[in-house]
Structure 1
Amino acid sequence: MKKNVWKKLLLSSLIVSMSLMTLAGCGSKSSSSSSSSSTAGGTEMKGDIKVWIDTEHIAAIKSQVKKFEKANPKIHVTVKSGSSADAMKDVSKDPSKAADVFMMPHDQIGQMAEAGLLYPVGKKDVATMKKNDIQSAVDGVTYKGKVYGFPYGVESQVLYYNKSKLSAEDVTNWDTMTSKGKLGTNFGDAGANYIFAPLFLSNGDQIYGSNGENLKGTNINNDKGVQVLQWIAKQKQNSGVVQTSDAALSNLQSGKIDAFLSGPWSKSDVKKALGKNMAVAPYPTVNFGNGDTQMKAFLGVKVYGVNQQTKSPVASIALAKYLSNEATQKVEFEKNGVVPTNKTAQALPEVQKDETAKSVLQMSDANHTVVMPKLPEIISFWPPMDSLINDTYKGKIKPAQYQDKLNKFVKDTSKKAN
């Protein structure tokens, strides 16, 4: 997720949280037992439906929509520009007037499902999804045992680096990389939470439990959590770690830094900055004091959700399935660089030979990433995590305060949303 979009998403989450909780009582009681397969039984595929698509995806998706309409002549689809990052906010304004199908990030599923805004996926389609898509993508669209969307892309942070300055071996370990080159980071700025909160997971702790749905499951206020804060504080004195924030790309081009952490959305810009010297790799290992361990990132899943209040559920579900199928994922990769969740699409030669896509796929396993938590209370997690990382890095939080700060963080982020 692009950095500015990520910030926008966090803000949107905070703004709409109260309205979503209000809407929760208004959701259809039948949603928990609805099934696309049972609904479709004996029902003709027809209807006028609307889909919200991120602007940069419209050209690619329109061609697929035309194919869908040709195969389903009694369904008419209107494609409108929308913002996947704002799905919660936009749908909750007036679900009856919102799109029938819309792009969204998986971490909004908890809030939207609790508010009765998402049409659940039927058992037959879930079985197909489990067969065709990678497990982490299925996990991303699953909330409290039910599936609430169709995954079409996966993304995580990766390591971009200048291969004329650093070797493939150098970037496998944080200490080696930062001793031989300079890594651009944002420890001291807004957005550090998204990149560096998974450090706690890297050291064996949990955030909202093993599946990201346990409100009382955050346990970073222990010795391992203290080790992470100690490690973050040390990076301020590490000459190979450079605070770059929004200047990362220009600093990469000028040679001020040799590597930085970002996602597939930065691929084109890094290519412009480094040209033939661009290289991509999974995250390095880090050492918090107990030996090298794999540095982890959050995994994000791109999803098509179906509006619980759609007047054409059969047609809407059929469209969401079509826009997340293998063929459409292939088009999305070719046109927009979206890394597929479909196993067959992932095996395509053009995907496998793409260095960024290959690194994202390596990152998508459980050893490298943790699926972003999606319970509604995640909105209370981001601001204090940013402050915890920023202030530790800047030295505003002293070592003697680490335990107390962690205790407060866990207490404050484990409260039930009102």
Structure 2
Amino acid sequence: MKKLFILIAAVLGVTVLSSCGTAQAYQPDIHVHTKDVTLKLWVDLNQGTYYRKVVQDFEKAHPDKNYHITVLESESGQASTNVQKDPEAAADVFITPNDRLGQLVEAGAVYQLTKYTSGIKANNTPTAVRAATYKGKMYGFPTTAESMFLVYDKRKFSAADVTSFAKLTAKGKLGINLQEAGADYRETPWFISNGSYLYGKNGEDPYGTTFNSAKGVQVLTWLGKLQHNKNVVPVNADEISAMQSGKINAALTGTWNAPTYKQMLGKNMGVTVYPTADFGSGAVPMKAFEGSNLYCVNAFTKYPLDAMQLANYLTSPKVQVGAFQALGKIPSALAARRDPAVTKDPVAKAVIAMTTAKHSVLMPEIPEMNVFWQHMNAVLVDVYNGKIQPAQYQATLDKFVHDVTPQKK
């Protein structure tokens, strides 16, 4: 009987779940050719209204099927946890940040794509394609490609002023999260700017973190000196109010704050890529993490072909342009990025410029990132606050790399 299941799976393009949990789950009651299809879709919070209309359009475009698709809102950052907790109760199609992909694959909870992969590769940014891929296999449909960017008050800075960190902080006050949770998300890419690696050059080598190199120590030294720069101001939740009051004149920010800045600054709102900085080995572009939200298919879906078709539609250029207009999501699809609705928006232009190899680095997807986040923030915050002194930087980074690296048995 097992041989029969494997034969059927091969015909369907579905592989059998391996002992390590990284291959597909095959289910005997899987439905391939059926007219009545019931699917559950998880979209991110506050996005249900838009995607319910998208789903209606999808159903109209496929009159040959009787689709029954339920759209539910679920925090994308928790999707991987919820799917792994009870995959059979989870949505057939769900959205998740790309940095959770490795966990899902290793748990055997996400479906390896057997269709649409050539289109995904041809139609999306190279980094978004990488984001949908884990260990050489594709598991997701990219729907965004985003990073942070620099926002500034044009009344304080010229375009030339914001090209370098030194010029920027000589002219006005820059807000950065340096003292609270989330500092790790903002400052970690600077190590990579200066030539260190986080889990190897491609982000998939658990033994490849080199933050304790000489160049890594340079970044920590540079960061420690920021506490003495009166024009570098620690902000976080108070970023918007700090800009409004004049406490800061520029900030490293994200798309979630863009609407408020547009309303606050109006024609005086400037947006651009991160500036360059000299961490100790010459001026380099300050990088940010690039992330991509992915629509993935549950490995336990009973309708894998229909689920993939739905996910493909949800991430089509037309739907991505609509998501940008309705939700402010920066598209990953090349055609969507060329759409006038996107190209005329200054924030979108800045983010698109940021999401290149020069200015951003894809957030690693391997499960070890869970451990990384547990340690990085404390190192950065304590260095900035002076709790860790320069003489301790090397030992601190040595311990950090040890703590975030799996110990070989």
Calculate the TM-score normalised by the size of structure 2: 0.91
> Which structure has greater helix proportion?
1
Identify which of 75, 80, 90 aligns with 1:88: 80
Provide, for residues 365-409 of structure 1, a one-character-per-residue CA deviation record: whole Å limited to 9, x for no partner.
Answer: 111111000100101101211011101111111111111111111
Larger Rg: 1 or 2?
Answer: 2
Greater mean alpha carbon deviation, residues 184-193 or residues 72-81: 72-81
Give yes or no for contact 1:153–1:339 (8 Å, CA) kept in 2: yes
Match of 2:287 in 1: 296
Q: Which residue of 2 aligns with 1:398?
A: 389
* Cα offsets for 1:288-347 (capped at 9, x unmatched): 122211100110101101100011111111111110011110110110111111111100
Task: Decide whether the 8 Å contact of 2:152 with 2:250 is kept in 1.
Answer: yes
Aligned residue identity for 2:75: S
Preserved CA contact (<8 Å) 1:25 1:115: no
Residues 416, 309 of structure 1: alpha-carbon distance in 2 compared, 3 angstrom cutoff? farther
SS of the aligned residue for 1:381 comes to helix
Contact 2:94 2:295 in 1 (8 A): yes
1:232 corresponds to = 223
Aligned equivalents of 1:120, 1:327: Cα separation in 2? 25
The match for 2:13 is none
CA contact (8 A) 1:377 1:417 kept: no
Displacement after TM superposition at 1:81 (Å): 1.6
Alignment of 1:95-244 (within 5 A): 95-122=87-114, 124-244=115-235
Give the aligned residue type for 2:121. K
Aligned twin of 2:9: none
Residue 162 of structure 1 aligns with an amino acid whose one-letter code is D
> What amino acid is aligned across from residue 177 of structure 2 in structure 1?
N
Q: Say if 2:343 is the partner of 1:352.
A: yes
Distance 1:305 1:45, change over 3 A: farther
Kindly provide the amino acid, as one letter, of the partner of residue 242 in structure 1.
Answer: V
Displacement after TM superposition at 1:248 (Å): 0.9
Counterpart among 327, 339, 343 of residue 334 in structure 2: 343
Alpha carbons 1:250, 1:273 under 8 Å: kept? no
TM-fit CA distance, 1:273 = 2.6
- Secondary structure (helix, strand or coil) at the match of 1:315 reads helix
Q: Deviations over 1:158-178 (max 9, x none)?
A: 011111111111111001000
TM-superposed CA distance for 1:75, in Å, is 2.0
- Please identify runs of 4+ aligned residues in structure 1 that moved more than 3 A: 23-31, 42-46
User: How far apart, in 1, do the equivalents of 2:302 and 2:341 lie?
Assistant: 39
Match in the other structure for 1:74: 66
Cα distance between partner residues in 2 of 1:143 and 1:28: 10
After superposition, residues 232-381 of structure 1 pair within 5 angstroms as 232-381=223-372
Q: Is the 8 A contact 1:151 1:324 kept in 2?
A: yes
In the other structure, the counterpart of 2:398 is 407
Aligned counterpart for 1:52 among listed residues 34, 42, 54: 42
3-state SS of the aligned residue for 1:59? helix
Residue 18 of structure 1 is matched in structure 2 by none
Residue 62 of structure 1 corresponds to: 52
What letter matches 1:196 in structure 2? Answer: E
Alpha-carbon contact 1:46-1:74 (below 8 Å) kept: yes
Q: Deviations over 1:163-202 (max 9, x none)?
A: 1111111111001000100001121221100000111001
Distance 1:280 1:45 in 2: 50
Does the 8 Å contact 1:203/1:224 carry over to 2? Answer: yes
RMSD of aligned residue pairs (Cα, Å): 2.1
- Distance, in Å, in 1 between the alignment partners of 2:275 and 2:299 is 42
Displacement of 1:210: 1.1
How far apart in 1 are the matches of 2:395 and 2:243?
Answer: 38
Please say if residues 46 and 315 of structure 1, whose CA atoms lie closer than 8 Å, have aligned partners that are also in contact: no
Instruction: From the superposition, tell whether residues 416 and 363 of structure 1 become closer, same or farther in structure 2 (CA, over 3 Å).
Output: farther
Query: Taking structure 1 as the reference length, what is the TM-score of the superposition?
Result: 0.89
C-alpha separation in 1, matches of 2:225 and 2:36: 61
**Greater mean alpha carbon deviation, residues 69-78 or residues 108-117:** 69-78
Distance 1:45 1:301 in 2: 33
Between the two proteins, the alignment pairs up a number of residues equal to 389
Tell me how far 1:46 sits from its aligned partner: 4.3
CA displacement at 1:24 relative to structure 2:
9.0
Q: Is the 8 A contact 2:23 2:105 kept in 1?
A: no
Q: Please tell me the residue identity of whatever aligns with 1:118.
A: V
1:274 Cα shift? 1.8
On the 8 A contact 1:158/1:363 being kept in 2, the answer is: yes
Give the 3-state SS of the residue equivalent to 2:225 in structure 1. helix
* Contact kept in structure 1, 2:96 and 2:296, CA below 8 Å: yes
Checking the alignment, whether the CA contact within 8 Å between 2:22 and 2:105 is kept in structure 1 is no
User: Which amino acid counterpart does residue 274 of structure 2 have in structure 1?
Assistant: Y
